[in-house]
């Protein structure tokens, strides 16, 4: 195992200790390691599973990618409800009046309801997913219901995007990235100078332990991840019933960020 996971993918520390041995939702025995430096919990079994299959192959088996035959009225209702994410940002003091000039990216968009809701608020919206069938199908279904999504760009790779992102939305995505710090360091040039990240992750609970989830974060490890890529948390929010933790983080300006 040590040859698989020798350092923390969040902060780079080599000091990893066994935290738990548990079964994931499919019954596989998983060693859970804790990074002593940043307190990230690492699913060794998920990392071992990377041998022989790519992260993309594992993630594509995820149920979020399922397409839907629900009627347009159902999708419209979901898009309407997704407006609550933007209300939450306003409630947290984010200047939502700037959204009209900004670019929103739903990274790991799944069905894309939040991206579709963002289309009414942002100048331009990117819905990214390895599997774009879900969001494409729903957009097409809503187009026939007279809704217009001309400012929506659906991509399977951010490399296909020219615009700089102002608001990066990642809902239950970060835990799916085996190298969250390395990955976002490599994508930083796609984010604007004062970009905002708005994300939610599952906390370490039995129902969340599964092969596609590599890292379980705490406030401390999320803050460390943000700091590693030049962001600073402005808000944490817990959903105690569902076991989720949300974070809003702002990019630290190039002047004050010296690393």
- Which contacts (CB < 8 Å, 24+ apart) does range 216-219 have? 216/32, 216/40, 216/41, 216/42, 216/43, 216/175, 217/10, 217/40, 217/41, 217/174, 217/175, 217/245, 218/39, 218/40, 218/41, 218/245, 219/245, 219/247
| 19/64 with CB nearer Zn ion | 19
Q: How far is the CB of 224 from Zn ion (least distance, A)?
A: 6
Cross-strand pairs, 103: 124
Q: How many residues does the chain have?
A: 259
Q: How far is the CB of 37 from Zn ion (least distance, A)?
A: 5
Q: How far is the CB of 235 from Zn ion (least distance, A)?
A: 22
Which of 5, 8, 127, 209 is in the footprint of Zn ion by CB under 5 A?
Answer: 8
Query: Exposure string (b/e) for 165-179, b if CB count within 10 Å is 16 or more?
Result: bbbbbbbbbbbbbbe
| 35/82 with CB nearer Zn ion | 35
Q: Which two tokens mark 12? A: 């780079």
Q: Does 10 bind Zn ion (CB under 5 A)?
A: yes
Which of 37, 106, 131, 166 is in the footprint of Zn ion by CB under 5 A?
Answer: 37
Q: How far is Cα 192 from Cα 102, in angstroms, rounded to an integer?
A: 10
Tell which residue, 60, 66, 62, 67, has the closest CA to residue 141: 67
Cross-strand pairs, 200: 171, 246
Q: Does 38 bind Zn ion (CB under 5 A)?
A: yes
φ/ψ (deg, to 5) at 103: -110, 125
| 8/94 with CB nearer Zn ion | 8
β-pairing verdict for 16-23 and 103-107: unpaired
Q: How far is the CB of 117 from Zn ion (least distance, A)?
A: 34
| 38/252 with CB nearer Zn ion | 38
Cross-strand pairs, 253: none
Q: How far is the CB of 9 from Zn ion (least distance, A)?
A: 8
Q: How far is the CB of 40 from Zn ion (least distance, A)?
A: 5
- How many residues sit in the footprint of Zn ion (CB under 5 A)? 8
Stretch that binds Zn ion, among 39-47, 89-97, 186-194, 231-239 (CB under 5 A): 39-47
Tokens 């902060």 appear where? 11
Stretch that binds Zn ion, among 32-40, 78-86, 99-107, 161-169 (CB under 5 A): 32-40
Stretch that binds Zn ion, among 2-10, 69-77, 161-169, 193-201 (CB under 5 A): 2-10
Longest dimension (CA), the chain: 56
Q: Does 35 bind Zn ion (CB under 5 A)?
A: yes
Footprint (CB under 5 A) of Zn ion, residues 40-99: 40
Footprint (CB under 5 A) of Zn ion, residues 115-134: none
Residue 150 DSSP class? T
Q: How far is the CB of 223 from Zn ion (least distance, A)?
A: 11
Q: Which residues are at the interface with Zn ion (CB under 5 A)?
A: 8, 10-11, 13, 35, 37-38, 40
């Amino acid at each position: 195992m040590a040859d698989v996971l020798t350092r923390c993918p969040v902060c780079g520390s080599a000091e990893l200790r066994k935290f738990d041995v548990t079964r994931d939702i499919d019954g596989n025995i998983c060693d859970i390691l804790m990074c002593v430096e940043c307190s990230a919990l690492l699913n060794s079994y998920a990392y071992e599973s990377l041998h022989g299959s790519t992260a993309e192959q594992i993630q594509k088996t995820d149920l979020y990618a399922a397409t839907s035959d629900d009627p347009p009225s159902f999708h419209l209702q979901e898009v309407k409800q997704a407006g609550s994410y933007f209300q939450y940002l306003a409630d947290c003091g984010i200047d939502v009046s700037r959204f009209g000039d900004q670019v929103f990216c739903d990274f790991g968009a799944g069905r894309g309801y939040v991206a579709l809701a963002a289309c009414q608020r942002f100048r331009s919206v990117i819905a990214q997913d390895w599997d774009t069938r879900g969001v494409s199908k729903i957009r097409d279904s809503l187009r026939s219901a007279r809704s217009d999504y001309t400012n929506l760009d659906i991509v399977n790779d951010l490399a296909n995007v020219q615009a700089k992102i102002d608001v990066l939305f990642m809902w239950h995505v970060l835990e799916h990235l085996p190298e969250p710090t390395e990955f976002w360091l490599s994508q930083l040039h796609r984010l604007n100078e004062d970009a905002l990240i708005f994300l939610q992750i599952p906390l370490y609970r039995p129902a969340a332990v599964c092969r596609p989830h590599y890292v379980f974060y705490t406030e401390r490890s999320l803050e460390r991840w943000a700091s590693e890529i030049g962001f600073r948390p402005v808000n944490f929010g817990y959903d105690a019933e569902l076991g989720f933790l949300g974070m809003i983080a702002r990019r630290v300006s190039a002047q004050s960020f010296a690393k």
